[in-house]
Structures are given as structure tokens and as C-alpha cells.
């Protein structure tokens, strides 16, 4: 039986995450935010939580910019922005994990996305 290649799986997950963020990239330029979906993930699992965290990190890069430059001021500004964006999304991330791991009865539709805003 063939063994799965971890590098290939990681590359596929990153490509999939990028596809989930791409539709809102044009909005990010105007709104400084990106919606990150997790409707397809099982957040009760470690794998699902890890994939969502990677999607949030990728969205923070999209919102804060990731053009290749070595100018210290620009790199520092983008790093601060990305860190702030990820930190700002953490409460929603934790709430999504808690809801998945300790489900309760809800009325109406459950949330399936997190908004990542420029930090």
C-alpha cells in the first residue's frame, strides 16, 4: 500500500487554503479584511484546527501584503500588521474550536467563517 507523502499533502492543503481566500482578495484591498471559511473542516480534530490556523495566517499575509522587499521599515510594518491580524482573529478561532469540541444546540445557522482584518 502506498504511503501518503506529507510534503504533497501540505502543498495541497496550502493550495486549497489559497483557493478559499482568493474570492475575497479584491475586497481585502478595499476593506483590509478577508473572510476565511472553515465549513469544510472538522475543528474537533487537531488536523482541522491546524489547517484553519494556516488559513488565518495566509489571510493575514493577503491583508497585510507580502510583496518581496528587504527594506527593514516595510518588512517590520508588514510583520506587525500580520501579527495583529492573527491576534485579532484568535478569539473567533478559539470560539470555533470550542463550538466544535463542545457542541450544543443552536438555533439558526452556525458560523463557518472568520474575518481576518489588518492589524
Per residue of the chain (119 residues), give pLDDT as tens: 556 666 555 555 555 555 555 444 444 444 588 999 999 999 999 999 999 999 999 999 999 987 777 888 889 999 999 999 999 999 999 999 998 888 775 544 557 888 888 87
Of the candidates 61, 64, 58, 50, the residue with the CA atom closest to the CA atom of residue 93? 50
**Predicted local confidence at residue 23, as pLDDT:** 44
Sequence ranges of the domains in the chain: 6-101+111-117
**Predicted local confidence at residue 107, as pLDDT:** 45
| Inter-CA distances, 57 with 87, 105, 114, Å | 10, 30, 12
**Predicted local confidence at residue 28, as pLDDT:** 40
**Predicted local confidence at residue 47, as pLDDT:** 96
| CB half-sphere exposure, 74, CA atoms < 13 A | 7
pTM over the 0.75 mark: no
| Inter-CA distances, 63 with 42, 70, 81, 95, 115, Å | 25, 19, 9, 22, 11
Cα–Cα distance measured from residue 82 to residue 74, given in angstroms and rounded to the nearest whole number: 12
Amino acid at each position: 500500500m502506498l504511503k501518503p507523502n506529507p510534503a504533497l499533502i501540505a502543498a495541497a492543503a496550502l493550495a486549497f487554503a489559497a483557493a478559499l481566500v482568493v474570492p475575497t482578495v479584491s475586497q481585502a484591498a478595499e476593506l483590509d479584511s478577508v473572510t476565511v471559511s472553515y465549513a469544510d473542516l472538522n475543528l474537533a480534530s487537531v488536523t482541522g484546527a491546524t489547517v484553519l490556523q494556516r488559513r488565518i495566517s495566509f489571510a493575514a499575509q493577503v491583508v497585510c501584503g507580502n510583496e518581496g522587499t528587504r527594506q527593514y521599515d516595510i518588512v517590520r510594518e508588514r510583520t506587525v500588521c500580520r501579527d495583529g491580524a492573527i491576534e485579532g482573529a484568535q478569539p473567533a478561532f478559539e470560539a470555533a474550536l470550542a463550538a466544535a469540541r463542545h457542541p450544543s444546540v443552536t438555533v439558526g445557522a452556525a458560523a463557518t467563517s472568520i474575518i481576518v482584518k489588518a492589524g
